[in-house]
Amino acid sequence: MKINVLVAEIGSTTTVINAFNGIFSSQPKFIGQGQAATTVDEGDVNIGLNNAIENLKGNLNIETIEYDKLVATSSAAGGLRMTVHGLVYDMTVRAAKEAALGAGANIHQVTAGKIRRTDINKLKEIKPNIILIAGGVDYGERDTSIYNAEKIADLKFDVPVIYAGNIENQEEIKLIFEDYPGKLYIVENVYPKIDKLNIEPTRKVIQDVFEEHIIHAPGMKKVKEMVNGHIMPTPGAVMTASKLLKEDIGDLITLDVGGATTDLHSVTEGSEEVNRILISPEPLAKRTVEGDLGVYVNMKNIVDRIGKDTLSNKLSISTEELDDLIENHKPIPTKDLEKKFVEELTKEAVITSVKRHAGKFRALYGASGKKTVAEGKDLTNIKYIIGTGGALTRLPNRVEIMKSIAKSNKGDDLFPTSEASVLVDNNYIMASLGVLSTEYSEAALKLLKQSLEI
């Protein structure tokens, strides 16, 4: 069978293959999915890729598959490990962090000001895939980012470095990294002026660097033998799909509750009313990742947040039965009680992640009296709440879980309102369509709307 495009999602534990036809026509189609265990530990993810394709053949009841293009997203081998080093945390560091997260990176270290010996020791332990240096508005403070660059260059890591700081330092940075084993990328300042963010150029370079260097990650060395198109970090692909969809249907958030983490992507300018009283700028597209909120690997964290007594009451079971559920918890629930248990975990993960992502109103008191300001990301203008990932595409009460967001607002949170519509990525293909959209944006948008049933 001839297939236009295969998209592989190479996760830490599972590799999924999605097949699409009619990519060059006005009616593109999602024709099937296959999956297999990811084979990072074997040192070759191609084994898992081939196994997933074999599974796809069985699901489509065909003997052979020929494809024009195979592209991929990946969070295997620990995803994209980054460290971020800036000047002032609330300014350049935050801007750099927004760029890194939006590109799909997992940030393992953030430093503000001149890097210290303890920071250097931690940097050596992390062994990042990419290092991002920022600091200083254009033609402003210069010394901190130069100092940090010198310290990082002295480490002689064979790791790419991105410089996104004061434009006046660019020539100096080139000299500092002249004999550095890794590649240096210089991009526009992420924080060129006070209260102005410029994160998209850095975000794009991070994704390009990931694609260029992913083949050096454990188990990924042979991936380019099969993949003849783009490779993107999986969270970055979800963000790309979210931005594409926002241009068509309006402001939205995308929630992805996974086994280990919960990702939230928002694409919104916010409301005019809130923007007028916002203390500091927020990016149009923002991603947060909650590393403690997962419904399998980090399940016990969420149980502790809810409380065992509360959870057993919600499930109408004894604490002994709950202990048994926890002890025998599986990645994919099959029985009704197991599904209800995961739904309670998912609801807690969803509401907590939105609370951490969203901004809030705050009262300031001064000589002229009380003044209300807003800080953080404004989600009040959101028109659509989208669920992707295993939990929010497969659980029976997934729509009700996402509708609970507005109900949980205590009054001062900048949450989506109850008027926001809930959409589900029914085919679980949003990340695949993000990477597909880099070459076939029109087809990707149509396929995404099909999956969301709009």
Does the pLDDT at position 78 exceed 70? no
Q: Examine the domain organization and report whether 259 and 176 are in the same domain.
A: no
What's the pLDDT tens digit per position in 173-206? 999 999 999 999 999 999 999 888 899 899 889 9
- What CA–CA distance (Å, rounded) separates 164 from 86? 9
Q: Examine the domain organization and report whether 223 and 212 are in the same domain.
A: no
Does the pLDDT at position 52 exceed 70? yes
Task: Tell me what the mean pLDDT of segment 32-55 comes to.
Answer: 85
Q: Examine the domain organization and report whether 103 and 200 are in the same domain.
A: yes
Confidence of residue 281 (pLDDT cuts 50, 70, 90): confident
Q: Do the beta carbons of residue 334 and residue 340 sit within 8 Å?
A: no
Task: Tell me what the mean pLDDT of segment 385-396 comes to.
Answer: 94
Q: Examine the domain organization and report whether 184 and 251 are in the same domain.
A: no
Could you say which of 216, 244, 263 is where a domain stops?
Answer: 216
- What CA–CA distance (Å, rounded) separates 429 from 448? 8
Burial of 8 (0-12, 13-18, 19+ CB in 10 A): buried
Please compute, for residue 253, the number of CA atoms within 13 A of its CA located in the half-sphere on the CB side.
36
Instruction: Kindly report the CATH number assigned to the domain that includes residue 62.
Output: 3.30.420.40
Q: Examine the domain organization and report whether 266 and 300 are in the same domain.
A: yes
User: Secondary structure of the chain: what % helix, strand, coil (to 5)?
Assistant: 40, 25, 35
Instruction: Kindly report the CATH number assigned to the domain that includes residue 297.
Output: 3.30.420
Does the pLDDT at position 271 exceed 90? yes
Could you say which of 229, 252, 278 is where a domain stops?
Answer: 229
The pairing of beta strand 161-163 with beta strand 130-133: parallel
H-state helical runs in 159-280? 170-176, 200-213, 223-226, 234-249, 272-275
- Model pLDDT, residue 151: 97
Q: Examine the domain organization and report whether 140 and 239 are in the same domain.
A: no
Instruction: Kindly report the CATH number assigned to the domain that includes residue 181.
Output: 3.40.50.2300
Q: Examine the domain organization and report whether 275 and 354 are in the same domain.
A: yes
Task: Tell me what the mean pLDDT of segment 210-216 comes to.
Answer: 71
Q: Examine the domain organization and report whether 298 and 183 are in the same domain.
A: no
- Model pLDDT, residue 159: 93
The amino acid at residue 117 is R
Comparing 15 with 252, the larger pLDDT belongs to: 252
- What CA–CA distance (Å, rounded) separates 396 from 30? 23
Task: Tell me what the mean pLDDT of segment 445-450 comes to.
Answer: 97
Does the pLDDT at position 104 exceed 70? yes
**Domain encompassing residue 320:** 235-452
- What CA–CA distance (Å, rounded) separates 347 from 339? 12
157 sits in the region (left: phi over 0; alpha: psi -120 to 50; else beta) called beta
Q: Which residue spans within 142-221 are E strands per DSSP?
A: 161-163, 184-186
Strand partners for 386: 254, 423
Apex 336 CA angle, 332 and 339, nearest 5:
40
- Model pLDDT, residue 13: 72
Could you say which of 173, 203, 229 is where a domain stops?
Answer: 229
Least confident of 141-145, 216-220, 250-254: 216-220
Task: Tell me what the mean pLDDT of segment 411-436 comes to.
Answer: 95
Confidence of residue 396 (pLDDT cuts 50, 70, 90): very high
Contacts of 348 (CB under 8 A, 6+ apart): 293, 302, 305, 306
Confidence of residue 216 (pLDDT cuts 50, 70, 90): low
Q: Note the pTM of the prediction, 2 decimals.
A: 0.87
- Model pLDDT, residue 91: 87
Q: Examine the domain organization and report whether 137 and 32 are in the same domain.
A: no
> Number of folded domains in the chain?
3
Task: Tell me what the mean pLDDT of segment 58-64 comes to.
Answer: 93
What's the pLDDT tens digit per position in 7-28? 999 887 788 999 999 998 999 9
Q: Examine the domain organization and report whether 110 and 248 are in the same domain.
A: no
Does the pLDDT at position 259 exceed 90? no
Confidence of residue 80 (pLDDT cuts 50, 70, 90): confident
Residue 245: closest CA among 86, 416, 389, 430: 430
Q: Do the beta carbons of residue 304 and residue 114 sit within 8 Å?
A: no
Q: Examine the domain organization and report whether 269 and 324 are in the same domain.
A: yes
Q: Examine the domain organization and report whether 57 and 114 are in the same domain.
A: no
The alpha carbon of residue 397 and the mean position of all alpha carbons in its chain are separated, in whole angstroms, by 24
- What CA–CA distance (Å, rounded) separates 399 from 421? 10
What's the pLDDT tens digit per position in 298-356? 899 999 999 999 999 999 999 999 999 999 998 888 999 999 999 999 999 999 999 99
